[in-house]
Amino acid sequence: DVKVTQSSRYLVKRTGEKVFLECVQDMDHENMFWYRQDPGLGLRLIYFSYDVKMKEKGDIPEGYSVSREKKERFSLILESASTNQTSMYLCASSFNQLLGETQYFGPGTRLLVL
């Protein structure tokens, strides 16, 4: 079974803090994704990566950065957390998105920024 794990289920941070969200997948997938999910807005893509050290902006990259130093690990960084970044963050991976491959999601991290 594909497994995507995220470093924390719940996180509370203060405004201005630097926040790291880690995601690890164990299926040797090429593609990895970071989404945020808010009520009424669905899943919105923040960043994705199709290879080690490669990254592409999604729909809402402002205020975020990412890092992919190893194939299995994709990190989301909030350089200076703000209250409007309070959300559920979901990581996903897939083998080949261009062919319609399934995305496998982690359990999510619920982040609260005070």
Partner 1 sequence: SQKIEQNSEALNIQEGKTATLTCNYTNYSPAYLQWYRQDPGRGPVFLLLIRENEKEKRKERLKVTFDTTLKQSLFHITASQPADSATYLCALGYAGNMLTFGGGTRLMVKP
Whole-angstrom distance between the N-terminal and C-terminal Cα of the chain? 37
- What CA–CA distance (Å, rounded) separates 29 from 14? 33
Residues between 64 and 93 with contacts to partner 1, criterion CB under 8 A: 90, 92
- The reply to whether 110 sits near partner 1 by the rule CB under 8 A is yes
State the nearest-atom distance from the C-beta of 21 to partner 1, in Å: 13
Residue 101 is given by DSSP the state P
Rg (CA), the chain: 13
Among 79, 107, 112, 114, binds partner 1 (CB under 8 A): 107
- The reply to whether 100 sits near partner 1 by the rule CB under 8 A is yes
Residues between 36 and 55 with contacts to partner 1, criterion CB under 8 A: 40-45, 48
